[in-house]
Amino acid sequence: MELRSLFALALSMTVLCVSATAQDLEPLTYTTIALNEKDQSYFIDHSEPFTPKFFGEMETPLGLSGKQPVESLMFARTPTTFIDTWHPTPHVQYIVILAGEVEIYVELGDPRKFGPGSVIRLEDLRGKGHYAKVLGNIQPLFAMIKLEAQEPSKHHHHH
């Protein structure tokens, strides 16, 4: 892409952001890898609205999600040749993909692709769990956010 068109794109995005109001904020969407009663893993999609909050002299609010107590943050990178095997998550955590693309497999349902900006909540503490495959030739970079010890949320899904 030419630098000029890249600059024009950045400029138009800035203008869009400035004119956005709270109602225009796209909700936070994320995917949970959950367990059913038989400890089989599956995907659930979530959408949470952001709460508008003004700081200082801001003319446009910042959209904030709810606060969640966090125990630790780690960054991880895998080679593009990464080979994963089925495993449960060691603790309830969020994975935020910063670069690269992965395909994640669960027991029930089709695998899904996740790229930069994807947020995944792992709750599959038991059973076979999940595994991931790297797509493309960019080494995936992701943030692993371990939540303070908590039970998986109760999902009312019949699998």
Structure confidence at residue 149 (pLDDT): 83
Please give the domain boundaries of the chain with CATH numbers for all domains. Answer: 25-147 (2.60.120.10)
The whole-model pTM stands at 0.80
Going by DSSP bridges, is the β-strand pair 28-35/119-122 parallel, antiparallel, or unpaired? parallel
Report residue 153's pLDDT band, with 50, 70 and 90 as the boundaries: confident
Using one digit for the tens of pLDDT, what is the confidence trace for 62-77?
999 999 999 999 999 9
Altogether, the residues listed in the chain come to a count of: 159
Q: Is the pLDDT score of 21 beyond 60?
A: no
Count of alpha carbons within 13 angstroms of residue 6, beta-carbon side: 3
What percentage of residues in the chain have a pLDDT greater than 70?
81
Cα–Cα dist 76/95, whole Å: 10
Higher pLDDT, 20 or 3: 3
